């Protein structure tokens, strides 16, 4: 009986709920002589550091030393895509940026020491908004561009309109804040525990900063208490400071950000501004679209470029763009360096096209679901970047099935009746689809390795390059390995991720963790099975696995194997804006219903129905958790979570008291989650599809349902509001809808034709 496809609980579920599961900071107990680190933070968003005198801090009891640029034996920079993130900056680039780090016997000593470091600054003007960055031509890189077809058709389209949409960022708010512990190993090299999605890059950064080769460094990640993209590269500086502190003092050093520091110092989802013009025919079929995206990249480049590319790649969502001209510019602002966040730019691009389609529908007095459907890809259609959507029929299948199972049409009629009899409360209903490209868009990241060890008693250890952040990767790997060796789940143990077991790994990201590492593990298991089958052939039938392993050992057959996988046939040329960047697409759709209180703008999410294509699920409970969690995280982004920077560039929403997270009360009152059946994907391990990020974008159904309800306060005409749709924004949108009359010139134009 295979354990793949069985609804097994997350391998650490017990530990998660009992508190027994250990995280990086829990390992502190193993280091009795550890030093604690606290940063000296700049009070300005942009400034020259004119003086840094650490001496006063050294007289603070318990302070051991202060780390400054003078202590760096290698290169003092932890920028991932560009060397543009000095650990000890001369020019401060965002409010609270660390300029030095104090090491103390206790955290309190380090914190008091940091207050006593004498730092002087010469403040400089700060750029704090996308608009200001555009005006100052402050960009982190050249434009990204994808163009296809002749967009001049927009000018002659029967329906033409322009618009602008501001989309806010998002704080990751992983429950476990950033943490790293480093120490000298017995060879004098560096060992580190790091809460990171990318242990190999932690190793690279330690090597860079200390100027020592990578074989002297070993980094381990046991598990993370959530990451969501926020620990893909943003974990680098903390592990580098811990390693540098260890290098200087010879003692273990722990860096753990408090929630307030984590908010202040680490990057968030990119805010985006989109300026568009779109042309449609009178049936609501898109003829052409031109969009200029501006993302707020913050102070350094980070992953902003591939994130912008993913926004451009996902502007089509599930729709054929007959003509498109998409450009993206990354603004340099004096804020935290914005970074990967579940969806990686895809969600921003998809929100924009859904906005445009809804605008068109309301201008044409057509139901938005009909306009969406009319623009769907057909099988064999080619995207604006040249990739064939070979299984586009799944979009239609999911759409039709979900409309039936959610009773879309019946509820539509019921809601209209409700709205007619309730002047101050309106309900809205929306169905939105999602298509998400699976693969890292940089080809070389799409590889993975594994090392599978069988012991003579038949028990198995699996090492692979992926990290566990709660998403259930280790659970799936355990299932794949047990399946691959024909063993029960308990016979297989997945080990903590270590750079000295599998080298040169990619970040666990792009939802590809199970696809890549799972395939590498399956490869290793296949090799072991071949070897063991030969041994078993000479043994009586029905001999237990352990006995076969013992026999193999005695015959001097190796009981361990390395596995490897690289995704075939993917490529993309950024200069041409053409290629096949994705191995396949993950699909889904959601129907959401909301009710708005017109007096306050407050709303409730009454019901959500989701149909997600996860291929053949390896682990249905894990996948369900990913769909539910991803969706709710998307709802938070689009409706509640608002980052506010004040005019000095201070983040005014730097804690759970001012930054509203979704909680139990924001769950849909009725929540139905289903998987598309008989959906095995060929060419992927176990026929399963990636599930980590795609469901987040189903939350767009909530934004669109809110829009539908707002429109019901007026005459149903087009309207727009920035994201997130907080009750405040919804209130003003309702005020606007109540008074606005459908006088759009565009519409008259259409009617005249
Ligand atoms: N689920 C949990 N519980 N915690 C997380 O941090 N990160 C998400 C997603 N689901 C995350 C999560 C992100 S951003 C990605 S890319 C994927 O998990 C990464 O894991 P995978 O590739 O194994 O799906
Ligand atoms: N997705 C997520 N993370 C990444 C990517 C990507 O496409 N490229 C580099 N890091
Ligand atoms: Mo996920 S944003 O690719 O870490």
Q: What is the pLDDT of residues 133-161, one digit of tens each?
A: 999 999 999 999 999 999 999 999 999 99
For the residues of 78-90, what is the DSSP string, one character each? --SSSS--BSS-S
- 190 pLDDT more than 60: yes
- 80 pLDDT more than 80: yes
From 227, 229, 230, 344, the mutation candidate for ligand 1 (largest count of ligand atoms within 8 A of CB) is 227
Q: How do residues 538-589 score in pLDDT, each as one tens digit? A: 999 999 999 999 999 999 999 999 999 999 999 999 999 999 999 999 999 9
Residues with CB under 6 A from ligand 1: 226-229, 342, 469-471, 473, 508-514, 626, 629, 692-693
**What is the C-alpha R_g of the chain?**
27
- Arithmetic mean of pLDDT, 717-741: 94
- The helix (H) or strand (E) run that includes residue 50 is strand 47-53
**DSSP code, position 655:** S
Q: How do residues 219-261 score in pLDDT, each as one tens digit? A: 999 999 999 999 999 999 999 999 999 999 999 999 999 999 9
Q: What whole-number distance in Å separates Cα of residue 649 and Cα of residue 66? A: 27
**DSSP code, position 651:** B
Annotated catalytic sites, by residue?
A: 693
Q: Which tokens sit at 495?
A: 């080990």
> Residue 386 in contact with residue 360, Cβ under 8 Å?
no
CA 204 to chain centre: 22
Q: Which tokens sit at 418?
A: 């409700």
CA 260 to chain centre: 21
Q: Which tokens sit at 591?
A: 């129907």
- Arithmetic mean of pLDDT, 169-183: 98
Q: What whole-number distance in Å separates Cα of residue 346 and Cα of residue 316? A: 10
- Listed in order, strand segments (DSSP E) in 245-350 are 253-256, 272-280, 286-298, 324-332
With a 6 Å cutoff on the Cβ, whether 232 touches ligand 3 is yes
Q: Which tokens sit at 25?
A: 């900071």
The residue contributing the CA closest to ligand 1 atom 8 is 228
- Whole-angstrom distance between the N-terminal and C-terminal Cα of the chain? 65
> Residue 106 in contact with residue 115, Cβ under 8 Å?
no
Return the pLDDT at 740: 84
Query: Beta 91-92 vs 47-53: how paired, if at all?
Result: antiparallel
Q: What strands, in cross-sheet order, belong to the sheet with 603-612?
A: 425-438, 584-597, 603-612, 670-675
How many of the other CB atoms lie within 10 Å of CB of 135? 10
- Arithmetic mean of pLDDT, 370-387: 97
Distances in whole angstroms, Cα of residue 27 to Cα of each of 32, 180, 182, 223, 251: 10, 10, 11, 12, 15
**Planar angle of CA 11, 16, 20, nearest 5 degrees:** 100
Phi, then psi, of 636 in degrees rounded to 5: -60, -50
Quick one: which atom of ligand 2 is closest to the CA of 439?
7
pLDDT band, very low/low/confident/very high, at 752 (cuts 50, 70, 90): very low
Percent of the chain past pLDDT 70, that is, above it, reads 98
Quick one: which atom of ligand 3 is closest to the CA of 342?
2
pLDDT band, very low/low/confident/very high, at 751 (cuts 50, 70, 90): very low
> Residue 469 in contact with residue 227, Cβ under 8 Å?
yes
Residues with CB under 6 A from ligand 2: 232, 303, 306, 310, 340, 344, 440-442, 445, 507, 509-510
The residue contributing the CA closest to ligand 3 atom 4 is 229
Return the pLDDT at 2: 87
Quick one: which atom of ligand 1 is closest to the CA of 511?
22
> Residue 349 in contact with residue 314, Cβ under 8 Å?
yes
- 527 pLDDT more than 60: yes
**610 Rama class: left (phi>0) / alpha (psi -120 to 50) / beta:** beta
**Planar angle of CA 112, 118, 123, nearest 5 degrees:** 120
How many of the other CB atoms lie within 10 Å of CB of 639? 25
**Planar angle of CA 331, 261, 194, nearest 5 degrees:** 95
Q: Which tokens sit at 749?
A: 């134009």
Q: Which tokens sit at 300?
A: 């350094």
pLDDT band, very low/low/confident/very high, at 743 (cuts 50, 70, 90): low
- Arithmetic mean of pLDDT, 721-743: 92
Count, residues in the chain? 753
pLDDT band, very low/low/confident/very high, at 742 (cuts 50, 70, 90): low
> Residue 605 in contact with residue 595, Cβ under 8 Å?
no
Phi, then psi, of 398 in degrees rounded to 5: -65, -45
Distances in whole angstroms, Cα of residue 510 to Cα of each of 188, 191, 291, 609: 35, 27, 24, 25
Return the pLDDT at 484: 98
Quick one: which atom of ligand 2 is closest to the CA of 442?
8
Say how many CA atoms lie within 13 Å of 184 toward its Cβ. 12
From 80, 270, 303, 340, the mutation candidate for ligand 3 (largest count of ligand atoms within 8 A of CB) is 340
The residue contributing the CA closest to ligand 1 atom 1 is 471
- 492 pLDDT more than 50: yes
CA 516 to chain centre: 17
- 745 pLDDT more than 90: no
The mean pLDDT of the chain is 97
687 CB-contact burial (10 Å; exposed 0-12 / middle 13-18 / buried 19+): middle
Q: What whole-number distance in Å separates Cα of residue 214 and Cα of residue 167? A: 40
Q: What whole-number distance in Å separates Cα of residue 111 and Cα of residue 290? A: 51
Return the pLDDT at 189: 98
SS3 assignment, position 526: helix
Phi, then psi, of 324 in degrees rounded to 5: -150, 140
Return the pLDDT at 750: 45
**355 Rama class: left (phi>0) / alpha (psi -120 to 50) / beta:** alpha
Q: Which tokens sit at 636?
A: 């938070």
> Pick the residue with more confidence: 379 or 1?
379
From 340, 348, 444, 512, the mutation candidate for ligand 2 (largest count of ligand atoms within 8 A of CB) is 340
CA of 692 from ligand 1 middle (Å) equals: 5
Phi, then psi, of 101 in degrees rounded to 5: -130, 135
Indicate which ligand has the atom closest to the C-alpha of 227.
Answer: 1
Q: What whole-number distance in Å separates Cα of residue 702 and Cα of residue 696? A: 11
Going by C-alpha positions, the residue among 231, 209, 178, 213 that lies closest to residue 85 is 209
CA 324 to chain centre: 26
Q: Alpha helix locations (H) across 343-425?
A: 346-363, 368-374, 393-405, 408-421
CA of 507 from ligand 3 middle (Å) equals: 9
> Residue 254 in contact with residue 244, Cβ under 8 Å?
no
Q: What whole-number distance in Å separates Cα of residue 217 and Cα of residue 213? A: 8
Q: What whole-number distance in Å separates Cα of residue 694 and Cα of residue 341? A: 12
Quick one: which atom of ligand 1 is closest to the CA of 470?
3
Percent of the chain past pLDDT 90, that is, above it, reads 97
Q: What whole-number distance in Å separates Cα of residue 201 and Cα of residue 506? A: 8
Q: What whole-number distance in Å separates Cα of residue 109 and Cα of residue 710? A: 54
- 34 pLDDT more than 50: yes
- Listed in order, strand segments (DSSP E) in 584-703 are 584-597, 603-612, 670-675
- 205 pLDDT more than 80: yes
Q: What strands, in cross-sheet order, belong to the sheet with 324-332?
A: 144-148, 324-332, 286-298, 272-280, 159-167
SS3 assignment, position 530: helix
Contacts of 406 (CB under 8 A, 6+ apart): 431, 591, 607, 609, 672
Return the pLDDT at 753: 36
């Amino acid at each position: 009986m295979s354990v793949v496809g069985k609804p097994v609980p997350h391998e650490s579920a017990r530990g998660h709920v009992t508190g027994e599961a250990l995280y990086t900071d829990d390992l502190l107990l193993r280091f009795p002589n550890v030093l604690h680190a606290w940063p000296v933070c700049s009070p300005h968003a942009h400034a020259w550091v004119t003086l840094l005198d650490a001496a006063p801090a050294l007289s603070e009891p318990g302070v051991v030393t202060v780390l400054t640029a003078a202590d760096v034996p290698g290169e003092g920079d932890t920028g991932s895509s560009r060397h543009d993130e000095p650990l000890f900056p001369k020019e401060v680039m965002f409010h609270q940026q660390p300029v030095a780090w104090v090491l103390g016997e206790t955290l309190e000593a380090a914190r008091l020491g940091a207050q006593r470091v004498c730092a002087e600054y010469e403040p400089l003007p700060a750029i704090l908004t996308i608009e200001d960055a555009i005006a100052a031509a402050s960009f982190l890189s050249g434009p990204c561009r994808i163009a296809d077809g002749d967009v001049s058709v927009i000018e002659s389209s029967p329906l033409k309109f322009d618009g602008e949409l501001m989309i806010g960022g998002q704080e990751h708010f992983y429950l476990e804040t950033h943490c790293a512990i480093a120490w000298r190993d017995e060879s004098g090299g560096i060992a580190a525990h790091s809460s990171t999605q990318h242990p190999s890059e932690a190793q690279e950064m330690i090597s860079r900063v200390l100027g020592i080769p990578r074989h002297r460094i070993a980094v381990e990640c046991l598990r993370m208490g959530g990451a969501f993209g926020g620990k893909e590269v943003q974990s680098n500086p903390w592990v580098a400071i811990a390693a540098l502190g260890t290098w200087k003092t010879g003692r273990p050093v722990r860096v753990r950000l408090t929630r307030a520091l984590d908010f202040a110092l680490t990057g968030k989802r990119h805010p985006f501004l989109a300026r568009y013009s779109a042309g449609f025919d009178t049936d609501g079929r898109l003829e052409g679209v031109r969009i200029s995206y501006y993302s707020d990249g913050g102070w350094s480049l980070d992953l902003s470029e591939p994130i912008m590319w993913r926004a451009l790649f996902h502007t089509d969502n599930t729709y054929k763009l007959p003509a498109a001209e998409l450009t993206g510019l990354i603004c340099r602002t004096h804020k935290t360096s914005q970074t990967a966040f579940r969806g990686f730019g895809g969600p921003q691009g998809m929100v924009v096209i859904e906005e445009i389609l809804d605008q068109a529908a309301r201008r044409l007095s057509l139901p938005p679901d009909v306009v969406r459907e009319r623009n769907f890809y057909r099988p064999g259609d080619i995207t604006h970047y040249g990739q064939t959507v070979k299984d586009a029929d799944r979009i239609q299948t999911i759409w039709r099935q979900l409309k039936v199972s959610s009773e879309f049409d019946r509820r539509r009629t019921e809601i209209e009746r409700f709205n007619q009899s309730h002047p101050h409360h309106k309900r809205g209903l929306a169905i939105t689809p999602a298509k998400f490209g699976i693969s890292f868009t940089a080809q070389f990241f799409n590889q993975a390795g594994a090392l599978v060890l069988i012991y003579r008693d038949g028990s198995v250890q699996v090492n692979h390059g992926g990290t566990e952040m709660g998403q259930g990767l280790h659970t799936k790997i355990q299932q794949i390995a047990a399946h691959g060796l024909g063993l029960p789940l308990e016979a297989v143990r997945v080990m903590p991720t270590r750079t000295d077991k599998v080298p040169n790994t990619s970040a666990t990201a792009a939802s590809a963790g199970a696809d890549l590492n799972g395939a590498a593990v399956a490869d290793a298991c296949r090799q072991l099975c071949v070897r063991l089958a030969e041994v078993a052939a000479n043994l009586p039938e029905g001999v237990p696995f352990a006995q076969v392993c013992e026999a193999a050992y005695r015959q001097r057959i190796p009981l361990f194997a390395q596995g490897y996988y690289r995704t075939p046939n993917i490529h993309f040329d950024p200069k041409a804006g053409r290629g096949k960047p994705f191995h396949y697409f993950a699909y889904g759709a959601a129907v959401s219903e909301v009710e708005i209180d017109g007096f306050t703008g407050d709303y409730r999410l009454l019901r959500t129905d989701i149909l997600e294509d996860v291929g053949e699920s390896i682990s249905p409970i894990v996948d369900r958790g990913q769909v539910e969690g991803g969706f709710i995280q998307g709802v938070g982004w689009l409706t509640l979570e608002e980052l506010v920077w004040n005019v000095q560039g201070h983040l005014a929403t730097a804690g759970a008291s001012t930054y509203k997270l979704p909680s139990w009360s924001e769950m849909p009152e009725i929540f139905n989650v289903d998987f598309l059946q008989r959906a095995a994907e060929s060419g992927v391990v176990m026929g399963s599809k990636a599930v980590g990020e795609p469901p987040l974008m189903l939350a767009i159904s909530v934004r669109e349902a809110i829009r539908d309800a707002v429109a019901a306060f007026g005459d149903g005409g087009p309207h727009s509001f920035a994201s997130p749709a907080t009750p405040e924004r919804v209130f003003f949108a309702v005020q606007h809808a109540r008074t606005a009359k459908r006088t759009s010139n565009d519409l008259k134009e259409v009617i005249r034709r």
